[in-house]
Structure 1
């Protein structure tokens, strides 16, 4: 596939998605499937190969996030229904004030985002953000946008996220230096792209309708007993604590029962199931919820997630179509053959893979592997800064083949144009800020 043909095909495919959904209001699932199949047919695949490629990508996306969405929604519903989210939200309001909610959510996102994937952190903390926004009488984006910005920044530059750890290993960078540099960059980037960007966005985004997901979390029955702050925090943080504990045990022991226990606790779905059971025992039953009410809450909360899960799968299917069509390989090869400075080359390579695959994790690992053979010729370039530049590029643009794009759209009830502003705009801003800080550090 020629570079020109790859560029034209990719631009037309993304343009079709935008026009068909935003202008003609065609169902997103139908558009993603249809454009993906057309893209593969244009690349020379047979209809059977095109459908198989889409199914493969959709299956991979659903396999990694489908049950996470379901279990995370169930956990969030119990946290909301039991009154724990209200208790924590009111505590945050009392300490920070409603005017500083965006700063508080940015801080929570940075802390939680250090050991936790973006997807997990967002799904589990979204109910808290919804309720905090309601309690403070602020728009939901006032709480959500700083939270997701901080989670995304941590995913891009901070160990022990797997993609960053992989890049550190490939570039032979120093882990402690990368942790220090990541922290140095994360805080100012979170301030600019979180609270400050939120205040700017709120004046330009327009009205946002209450999404089915938000309505589900906000529809809770008043209980006779309110849970204590300690129990509420314990249950809300329990999935993160279990995952972190699992990672620690896995790193401490390479084999034996401790290693197996670490793998068990570190598995996200397992930690969510354990957290669900603990929440029932510590919050729901003591606070007056009957087993019938608990079962009803767990059953009904899954209804709004059905379309979200299907859209996530469709986004993964479209991403796989971009890869299998050869667009990804053509653009990446062109970037590597261009004569650009090493840090910019690392950034641009990750950007291209991100646009082609939709995955930040894949973009970091792939770009690092592509550049590693050329490191011997990159005299005077810090491997730690290469890690940061690659991580910055890996989250650029928040493209439509990123399943999170569609997840956020449905979670927040955004239009397509609003999703581009909120998600794609935030991701691009974060990416550019991290790159500028990285280039500044290279000068110093």
Structure 2
């Protein structure tokens, strides 16, 4: 999830409120309640997450007022950081669909690629979009394309979508300047350029396995039709933006965010006016807002839309995502309740007592904290801070590999305490079980294969 690395670094280590076994039972009970309510009793996920958070707090022995405060804090921070971006992304995505821009992109992709090649094209698109973007933003922007590619090609939505999700997620876990890997680089005093280069080397084979190869298997397990969220106008106009204009519109926020990231790395002087401007323009909220405003002209006007039509598109974009916003925010609230019990700290203490290599230990710490808190960024920041004392005197290459091992662990098995889990579930129209069999397992494959590649690199570099 999107969060400030500085803020997370200050709050990720929480003192456990009860004995380790009690916290573990509380977490498992809360997760079981959520899954049971949604799967068997058909309770809406928003209500199930609230009730699950209450079960966690009660089983951990927390004061009810503290549980309510934790949930409200997590809900609010997630709505503020992710909700606004989802809303802006939905507006842009609806504009992309109704203008015919998404059709133009899909016609080009489907027309030039065979059915067998499409998943490989989607993983490449996901990786490019995900390089500077947070996962949530990239997902919302890509959904119209994923839907249309699945419809036109006749492939399963999962077969097409999993490779794109793998591309987005791998960049988030392995490649700076995403906040998790970047903070781990700083905490371990690793070389940023070397980590970036090794991160790309790790990401490529990992994406091949977790993207097109696993997507083909997952598509057999989970076969669902593409939702109709971004179907476009009932009577599409013959007039639509060109492929070049559409691609430029999609890549505009990507370029703005990438410019901010490069300025932070190359200039690294907050007092410089150029960096100040790029930092503002590359802030996710500003970049997406600019993309929507520019899209009015490059997409809407190119498709012959007048002001009334553009207003209708914006109005129609928000109602379908209202439920998604509530569920994702409630997922953030449930995660915060878990974080505030201190279970992540307890699991980290247990892992540190194991006699393992630094790379495996770093991965395992991140895995446990990811499972406990649901946040890849929290897992990365916490795990890297815990192994700092174990890498004193290590060379630049080993430090970079530790950063990547942590990044791999932070991706492990996204489940009900991860707001991203609910985002994927709702956008893909899946059940909880289907989301676990596709998205959660894909994240696990990314994590395990990523660790394997890191260990292999450790033998040869």
- Structures share a fold, TM > 0.5? yes
Q: State the 1:304 CA deviation.
A: 1.1
In the comparison of the two structures, how many residue pairs are matched? 440
Partner Cα separation in structure 2 for residue 161 and residue 380 of structure 1: 20
Among candidates 325, 340, 360, match of residue 344 of structure 1 = 360
Contact kept? 2:166, 2:442, Cα under 8 Å: yes
Deviation of 1:209 after TM superposition, in Å, equals: 4.8
Aligned counterpart in structure 2 of residue 178 of structure 1, from 195, 219, 236: 195
The match for 2:232 among 216, 219, 236 is 219
What's the TM-score once normalised by structure 1's chain length? Answer: 0.95
Is 1:237 aligned with 2:251? yes
Instruction: Measure the CA separation in 1 of the matches of 2:386 and 2:112.
Output: 48
Between 368-377 and 104-113, the greater mean CA deviation after superposition: 368-377
- Residue 436 (structure 2) aligns with: 420
CA offsets 1:148-168 (integer angstroms, 9 cap, x no match): 011111111112212111111
* Residues 263 and 22 (structure 1), Cα distance of their counterparts in 2 relative to 1, 3 Å cut: same
Structure 1 residue 357 displacement after superposition: 1.5
The structural deviation recorded for 1:378 is 7.2
Q: How does 1:30-429 map to 2 (within 5 A)?
A: 30-205=47-222, 207-210=223-226, 214-220=227-233, 221-251=235-265, 252=267, 253-376=269-392, 382-429=398-445
Tell me how far 1:362 sits from its aligned partner.
1.2
TM-fit CA distance, 1:5: 2.0
CA contact (8 A) 1:40 1:324 kept: no
- Equivalent-residue separation in structure 1 for 2:123 and 2:249 (angstroms): 20
| Cα distance, 1:250 vs structure 2 | 4.5
Distance between the aligned counterparts of 2:27 and 2:407, measured in 1? Answer: 23
Alpha-carbon separation, structure 1, partners of 2:239 and 2:433: 43
* Offset of residue 122 of structure 1: 1.2
Task: Verify the 8 A CA contact 1:246 1:266 in the aligned structure 2.
Answer: yes
Superposed displacement of residue 172, structure 1: 1.9
Question: Residue 342 of structure 1 contacts residue 378 of structure 1 at CA under 8 Å; is this kept in 2?
Answer: no
Deviation at 1:174, TM superposition (A): 2.1
Q: What's the RMSD between the two structures over aligned residues?
A: 1.8
Per-residue displacement from partner, 1:164-220 (whole Å, max 9, x unpaired)?
Answer: 111112222222222222121211111111111111111222x4255xxx3121132
Local SS of the residue matching 1:203? helix
Task: Please give the alpha-carbon distance, in whole angstroms, between the structure 2 residues aligned to 1:44 and 1:155.
Answer: 35
Report the Cα distance in structure 1 between the residues aligned to 2:303 and 2:27, rounded to whole angstroms.
54
Superimposed CA distance per residue, residues 55-95 of structure 1 (whole angstroms, 9 cap, x where no aligned partner) = 01111111110010000000011011111111111111122
Contact persistence 2:358–2:390 (CA under 8 A): no
CA contact (8 A) 2:129 2:138 kept: yes
Cα contact 2:335–2:417 (8 A) shared by 1: yes
| Aligned partner of residue 45 in structure 1, secondary structure | coil
Q: Distance in 2 between matches of 1:181 and 1:156?
A: 13
Deviation of 1:380 (Å): 11
| Shift of residue 376, structure 1, vs aligned partner | 3.0
For the residues of structure 1 that align with 2:274 and 2:401, how far apart are their CA atoms?
35
Of 123-132 and 75-84, deviating more is 123-132
For structure 1, the 5+ residue unaligned runs are none
Q: Deviations over 1:378-408 (max 9, x none)?
A: 7999111111110010010112111000011
Matched residue SS, 1:292: helix
CA distance in 2: counterparts of 1:246 and 1:175, whole angstroms: 16
Inter-partner Cα distance in structure 1 for 2:433 and 2:152: 28
SS in 1 for 2:221: coil
1:359–1:402 contact (8 Å) kept in structure 2:
yes
Q: Secondary structure at the match of 2:299?
A: helix
Query: 1:398 is paired with a residue of what secondary structure?
Result: coil
Partner SS, residue 217 of structure 1? coil
